[in-house]
């Protein structure tokens, strides 16, 4: 009987360690700044590690170019690039905590 309590204690310790790792990962991802670019860098979007848009930068070339449709397309492309990079970083960070286990609903 004592063996099963030892195993339960080990499972609880592992769960606590994972919880702490998840909290650290969340904090890192909230503070992360990931850039995405489009048009060879003339448009840059910065997102946090969760994909939330923080900043948009337009070069003078795009800002004063007068081609509104092109600027809008470049903005969307830069945002998507940044969010894709953020998702990749998010997944990699989470995999470190969970040991690669897919645990839906953690973030």
Give per-residue pLDDT as tens, 51-64.
899 999 988 888 78
pLDDT attached to residue 83: 94
As a whole number of angstroms, the distance between CA 79 and CA 43 comes to 9
- Tell me if 78 sits within 8 A of 6, measured CB to CB: no
User: What percentage of the chain carries pLDDT values higher than 70?
Assistant: 91
pTM to 2 decimal places? 0.69
Q: Whole-angstrom Cα distance, residue 48 to residue 32?
A: 5
73 within 8 A of 58, measured Cβ to Cβ: no
| pLDDT over 70 at 106, yes or no | no
Q: Which domains does the chain have, with CATH numbers?
A: 2-98 (3.30.1310.10)
pLDDT per residue over 5-17, tens digit each?
778 888 888 888 8
């Amino acid at each position: 009987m004592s063996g099963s309590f030892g195993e339960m204690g080990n499972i609880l310790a592992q769960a606590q360690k994972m919880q702490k790792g998840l909290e650290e990962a969340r904090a890192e991802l909230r503070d992360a700044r990931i850039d995405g670019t489009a048009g060879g860098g003339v448009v840059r979007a910065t997102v946090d590690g969760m994909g939330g848009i923080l900043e948009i930068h337009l070069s003078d070339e795009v800002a004063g170019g007068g081609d509104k449709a092109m600027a809008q397309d470049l903005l969307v492309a830069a945002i998507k690039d940044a969010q894709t990079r953020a998702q990749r970083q998010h997944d990699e960070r989470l995999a470190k905590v969970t040991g690669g286990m897919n645990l839906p609903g953690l973030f």
